[in-house]
């Protein structure tokens, strides 16, 4: 049996204290036989080196790192600094100045946009449930959702009669009801760290024949439900018209509907991608789809709103008096924390920053769409001062209850009733500037009574 190649290392004279400690550990190899023992010792040396080279630091407290969440709705001239939001307001002011008292009153379109967020979706469920309790929750003409927002969006689209089922799905479950972790070595050789079979069963219970029929009926009435997934081959967002699937008459309509919801709720790497068969020019292929949150946090596109082109050409606001409600299942900024100076932790922190920034950018784009179309922009998110866990996949029952209660209280206590851009702890950075463009409730009431010309109907072609 060959001896260790590091046998004579301890004879070297090293001045470094770290090197001396390493030599003491390595010299043990003289009395050990075999490479296997040497490998074990080498692994220990690597851990020792990592510990010796790690640098400690003093991190600033979270209250210093956290952006001020207070929003000043009536800034003074000294507080005002021109931003891209001001440029947008100037560009759209000519439309708002147009007033035709003879124009027919427009039908108000109500849009609901739901973000992803794993178990933080309990907050969204609480907002909707509390909204129902106030008696002011509308029937939504358009609903969009990704990830956990896709599951909640299905309930919201079907109406308040599904609230009980929605609440149970977000307060009376544990991680065992959502996923089942795989044995670590097996996870490295498969397509995910956990099995999504439990989640698949939940979705099957959620989407039964009655639910599919309800979506189909709403679709025929002109309402729309959109769900986003990510095609991991093309690396692009795919938006599915769920109502079109429900009314398609396909024998596999229910199965496809369920697959899309499962795919939209499957974080890549953690839950397996969902294979979806497609047919192109007579040939069948299989696409792999994962969580829609991999490409966008929230989405709303102009094509979903059936804008009147003639109204746009004539300079009118096609959706004046309409409302877009956005519920973010999470905070708008990540909670500050002291990041360890290790590769994985630094990369993880940077990825979180990217995800939060992506969501804020998409919110900005939706707000721009609202400004250009005449819709009012309403936003609610988990309050910055609410302490929540960092693991959105833990599905801890106590945490779910707290998140749900926070959303419910936000609606019933008025914090989300005025919704919000005017509330504190919702946005900083660019969206803070948006607040300056949002009028008070009294101003909105005046706008609603001015009779802005708009499209007088809200219909969609069945195609």
Q: How far apart are CA 86 and CA 81, in angstroms?
A: 9
Q: What is the pLDDT of residue 357?
A: 87
Tokens of 103: 């124009």
Asked if 114 and 327 touch (Cβ cutoff 8 Å), the reply is yes
Apex 304 CA angle, 300 and 305, nearest 5: 100
At how many degrees (to 10) do helices 148-158 and 121-134 cross? Answer: 20
pLDDT of amino acid 83: 55
Q: Give the pLDDT score at 60.
A: 57
Per-residue pLDDT of the chain (463 residues), as tens digits, is 444 333 343 344 444 444 444 443 444 344 444 555 656 566 565 555 444 444 566 565 665 455 444 444 444 555 545 555 565 665 666 555 454 554 554 567 899 999 999 999 999 999 999 999 999 999 999 999 999 999 999 999 999 999 999 999 999 999 999 999 988 777 777 889 999 999 999 999 999 999 999 999 999 999 999 999 999 999 999 999 999 999 999 999 999 999 999 999 999 999 999 999 888 888 889 999 999 999 999 999 988 988 877 766 666 778 888 999 999 999 988 888 888 888 888 888 888 888 888 898 899 899 888 888 888 899 999 988 888 888 889 999 999 999 999 999 988 886 544 455 433 333 334 444 344 334 333 343 443 333 333 322 222 233 3
3-state SS string over the chain?
CCCCCCCCHHHCCCCCHHHHHHHHHHHHHHHCCCHHHHHHHHHHHHHHHHHHHCCCCCCCCHHHHCCCCCCCCCCCCCCCCCCHHHHHHHHHHHHHCCCCCCCCCCCCCEEEEECCCHHHHHHHHHHHHHHHHHCCCCCCCEEEEECHHHHHHHHHHHCHHHHHHHHHHHHCCCHHHCCEECCHHHHHHCCCCEECHHHHHHHHHHCCHHHHHHHHHHHHCCCEEEEEEEECCCCEEEEEEHHHHHCCCCCCHHHHHHHHHHHHCCCECCECCEEEEEEECCEEEEEEEEEHHHCCCCCCCHHHCCCCHHHHHCCCCCCCCCEEEEEECCCCCCCCCCCCCCHHHHHHHHHHHHHHHHHHHHHHHHHHHHHHHCCEEEEEECCCCCCCCCCCCCCCHHHHHHHHHHHHHHHHCCCCCCCCCCCCCCCCCHHHHHHCCCCCHHHHHHHHHCCCCCCCCCCCCCC
pTM for this predicted structure: 0.74
Place of tokens 């001015």: 450
Residues 24 and 172: their CA atoms lie apart, in Å, by 56
246's CB contacts (< 8 A; 6+ apart) are: 212, 213, 215, 216, 219, 253, 257
User: Residue 6: what pLDDT?
Assistant: 38
Q: How many CB atoms lie within 10 A of CB 311?
A: 21
pLDDT score, position 7? 37
Predicted confidence at residue 32, as pLDDT, reads 43
Say what the pLDDT of residue 342 is: 84
């Amino acid at each position: 049996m060959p001896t260790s190649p590091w046998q004579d290392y301890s004879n070297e004279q090293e001045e470094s204290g770290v090197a001396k400690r390493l030599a003491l550990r390595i010299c043990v190899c003289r009395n050990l036989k075999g490479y296997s023992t040497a490998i074990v010792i080498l692994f220990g040396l690597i851990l020792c080196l990592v510990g010796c080279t790690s640098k400690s630091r003093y991190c600033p407290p979270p209250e210093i790192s956290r952006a001020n969440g207070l929003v000043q709705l009536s800034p003074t001239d000294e507080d005002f600094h021109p931003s891209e939001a001001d440029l947008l307001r100037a560009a759209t002011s000519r439309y708002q100045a147009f007033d035709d008292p003879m124009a027919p009153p427009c039908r108000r379109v109500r849009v609901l946009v739901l973000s992803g967020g794993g178990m933080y979706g309990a907050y969204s469920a609480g907002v909707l449930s509390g909204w129902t309790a106030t008696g002011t929750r509308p029937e939504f003409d358009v609903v969009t959702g990704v990830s956990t927002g896709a599951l909640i969006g299905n309930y919201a689209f079907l109406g308040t009669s599904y609230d009980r089922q929605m609440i149970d799905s977000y307060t009376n479950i544990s991680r065992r009801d959502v996923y089942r972790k795989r044995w670590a070595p097996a996870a490295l050789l498969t397509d995910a760290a956990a099995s999504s079979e439990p989640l698949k069963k939940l979705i099957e219970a959620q989407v039964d024949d009655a639910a599919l029929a309800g979506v189909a009926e709403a679709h025929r009435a002109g309402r729309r439900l959109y769900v986003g997934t990510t095609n991991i081959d093309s690396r692009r967002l795919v938006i599915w018209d769920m109502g079109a699937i429900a009314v398609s008459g396909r024998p596999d309509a229910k199965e496809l509907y369920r697959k899309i919801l499962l795919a939209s709720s499957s974080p890549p790497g953690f839950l397996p991608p969902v294979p979806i068969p497609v047919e192109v020019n007579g040939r069948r292929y299989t696409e792999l789809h994962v969580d829609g949150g991999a490409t966008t946090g929230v989405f709303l596109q102009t094509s979903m709103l059936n804008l009147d082109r003639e109204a746009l050409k004539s300079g009118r606001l096609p959706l004046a008096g309409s409302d877009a409600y956005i519920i973010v299942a999470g905070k708008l900024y990540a909670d500050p924390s002291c990041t360890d100076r290790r590769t994985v932790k630094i990369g993880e922190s940077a990825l979180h920053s990217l995800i939060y920034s992506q969501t804020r950018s998409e919110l900005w784009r939706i707000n721009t769409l609202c400004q250009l179309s005449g819709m009012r922009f309403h936003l609610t998110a988990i309050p910055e001062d609410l302490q929540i866990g960092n693991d959105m996949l833990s599905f801890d029952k106590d945490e779910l209850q707290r998140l749900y209660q926070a959303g419910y209280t936000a609606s019933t206590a008025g914090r989300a009733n005025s919704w919000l851009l005017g509330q504190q702890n919702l946005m900083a950075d660019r969206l803070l500037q948006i607040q300056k463009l949002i009028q008070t409730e009294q101003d909105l009431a005046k706008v609603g009574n001015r009779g802005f010309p708009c499209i007088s109907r809200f219909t969609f072609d069945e195609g």
